[in-house]
A and B are shown apart, each in its own frame.
Chain A
Amino acid sequence: MAFPSVYEMTNPLTTVRKQHFWEYFSGANLPYTQEATTDTIQNTYNDDSGIGGATGGWGTRFNAGHALVGREIQSITVSIKITGTLNVIDMTARIYGSTKATLRATSTAISSAGLNTSYQTKTFTFPVGSRGTIQAGDHIMIVTDSLISSGNFQCQIKSGGGSNTHFTTWQGLANSFTEQTNRELWYNPIVSSPPSTSIRWRENNIAGTCTRGMDDAVDGGYKLIAPATGYARGTIDFDQSALDVGKVRQFNSDGSVNVFVMSHTKGGSTGARVVCGLITGTDFYGNGTSRSAVVTTDTTTKYMHSNGSAGANETDLTITPDGNFHSYKIVNTGTTNSCSVDGVLSGNGYVATSTNVPTSSKMQPNFQVYVGNAGSAGTAQGNIRYYEAYNT
């Protein structure tokens, strides 16, 4: 039987549908805002510079007061030529902090093959989801990791520093940047916009910087990797901005259902936890307050539940995580909540409890990967490929 509408797949029209959300985690990225762009240009030159016989590159620094500070970089177009017989190298544009120690973003690569001995423009693009926002003192550098064994790759510059910006070179990746405050790089243009933000889901790093994005793997969904640093963790949730500000909590602790498909990759930190469910706060291991979620550790799977500021209970589902995807379903009633794994309704893989379950609360979805207190032993990875929540 075919349903006439998605509405009538889940509700008769005589029932006023309640909040119902689902996400398949497919496509290139989570949806992002698309902000209007601005071109920033420095198109005068009277000299050139470059590197040879080394790794590294050249670029430009932006100090406080420059118009690009606070803006997200989408692309940079520079003027490049080679001298001599340059071996084939790949170059990328990279956004670094005030030193090489902080790498914020890397563009797609451009090969030196095809470059010639007269200047030509090349545009380095930062894809959606791989962009960085310029902070005071940051650099945009055109860099090669390969040793330039013969020849040079060069850029056009002008003498005299710019207003809150100047030319920078990097001769050898083992060395520090060389700030050349009396010169300025030619670029036409640097395309920037206000920082884009993900729509629907907020991608949040609670501690440490997580690696995240759609997984290029069959049935991979969205992956979230917490770094190998003690207590590092990150989430996706419905917050609108900073921690505990602007939450959108539309699901009812006293009548809602959560269904999701996630995996916990084994082999990283033994303290790792992958958690998914509903929460009134933003952090299952911090300001969680009321929670109703599944947590997988390295050895067990548990139903995590708490009401208000009381600590969380973790009721064992008696399922040993195997690194594979599984389906989870949580039914929240405000009195007795149930949690099942892979559709099991009794025995191992199922619990029902009325102890310390959330009541009288509005809650938001949250998927979290936590490296645990043994984080230095390795990273932690969780993947999610389906999430659904609805009020009953």
Chain B
Amino acid sequence: MTKSIYDQLNANGTIAKQRFVENFSGDALDTDRWSAIGGGNGTPTFAMADEIDGGFKVTAAAQDNGDAGLGSNGTWDGYNIRHFSPTGSVYIDVFKNNTAVSTAKSICHGFGEKIRGDSGGNNSALFRTDTRQTVKFRVRICSGAGSQANDADTSMTADLNWHSYKIECDSTYKFSIDGVLEYTSPTTNLPTGAMAPISGIQGSSSATAPSYSIKYVECYNT
């Protein structure tokens, strides 16, 4: 018997909520779904990788604050199309840093209300690396008012391998890497506004152009 995708993802009688799935396969990024843009500092590049398991690659200019990112807003400072709840949603991706932590002030991915390379602003929940802090994979939550009180290391030293990342947004926020829970937030200083999948870079003064690759994103409301 043929089963629907709906039935495999929703219990009988459950009304499906918003869900987004992106495989980053094919000859080009679907720019009807994604904005691939820079913030005006340097010239970023965006490309499907001609590599086994290569996904999509985002590279910022090798300069201080060189920026680039993916989201759903047409301009760097605009708001994304925000379908995902700050109090009941999940973000999953498969992501890797391609360059050392030292090459970028920030490489981030997760939920956000705007594309940001610097992991700042309001209403976001992000995995990130930061050359100014540690060489760990880190988490950051930006509250509705911009507080970054929930900002911590994970146990994992940042590397250049693919990992699966999951952020569960509820009354607390849970961050997992490769299926292992790494961080649970308190119930305070959390996002209050809707969010969307984003990723981005803010470069450092490194001579190496910082880049990341992403080959899967899934978001859904719970």
Contacts and interface: CB of A to CB of B under 8 A. Distances in A.
Contacts of B151: none
Given A4-B90, A13-B164, A13-B176, A19 B27 contact: no
Most A CB contacts (10 A, CB to CB) among B31, B53, B92, B218 go to B53
Q: Secondary structure of the B side of the interface?
A: loop
B8 A2 contact: yes
Most A CB contacts (10 A, CB to CB) among B23, B30, B32, B48 go to B23
Nearest to B54: A250
A17 B164 contact: yes
A199 B25 contact: no
A358 to B, nearest CB: 12
B178 A16 contact: yes
Contacts of A201: 26-27
A140 B220 CA distance: 47
A250 B50 CA distance: 6
B11 interface: yes
A21 B27 contact: no
Contact of B25 (A11, A15, A21): A21
A26 to B, nearest CB: 13
Most B CB contacts (10 A, CB to CB) among A16, A34, A200, A248 go to A16
Given A2-B9, A202-B27, A16 B163 contact: yes
A13 B32 contact: no
A316 B31 CA distance: 42
Contacts of A202: 27
A14 B21 CA distance: 19
Contact of A5 (B32, B161, B220): B220
B110 to A, nearest CB: 15
B105 interface: no
Contacts of B178: 13-14, 16
A347 to B, nearest CB: 24
Contacts of B164: 7, 11, 13-17
A15 B166 CA distance: 12
Q: Secondary structure of the A side of the interface?
A: loop
A142 B134 CA distance: 67
Contacts of A389: 25
B94 interface: yes
Contact of A3 (B9, B23, B28, B166): B9
B52 A250 contact: yes
Nearest to B168: A4
A19 B50 contact: no
B215 interface: yes
Interface in B169-222: 176, 178-180, 215-216, 218, 220
Contacts of A362: 50-52
Contact of A200 (B27, B53, B176): B27
Given A13-B179, A16-B162, A16-B163, A251 B90 contact: no
A252 interface: yes
Measured as residues with beta carbon below 8 angstroms from the partner, the interface class of chain A is: 35 or more
Contact of B9 (A6, A14, A240): A6
A27 to B, nearest CB: 12
B216 A17 contact: yes
Measured as residues with beta carbon below 8 angstroms from the partner, the interface class of chain B is: 35 or more
A248 B50 contact: yes
B23 to A, nearest CB: 5
A56 to B, nearest CB: 39
A19 B8 contact: no
B29 A18 contact: no
A19 B53 contact: yes
A373 B60 CA distance: 50
A391 B27 contact: no
B90 A200 contact: no
Contact of B26 (A7, A20, A21): A21
B157 interface: no
Nearest to B10: A2
Interface in B24-80: 25-32, 48-55
B9 A19 contact: no
A200 B50 contact: no
A126 interface: no
Contacts of B14: 2
A32 to B, nearest CB: 9
B179 A250 contact: no
Given A2-B9, A5-B92, A17-B94, 16 more contacts: A2-B10, A7-B164, A13-B179, A14-B164, A14-B180, A16-B161, A16-B178, A17-B215, A20-B25, A22-B23, A198-B27, A249-B50, A250-B48, A250-B50, A250-B52, A391-B53
Give me the 10 closest cross-chain CB pairs, A-B, nearest first: A200-B26, A21-B25, A14-B179, A13-B179, A248-B48, A238-B27, A252-B52, A2-B11, A19-B53, A362-B52
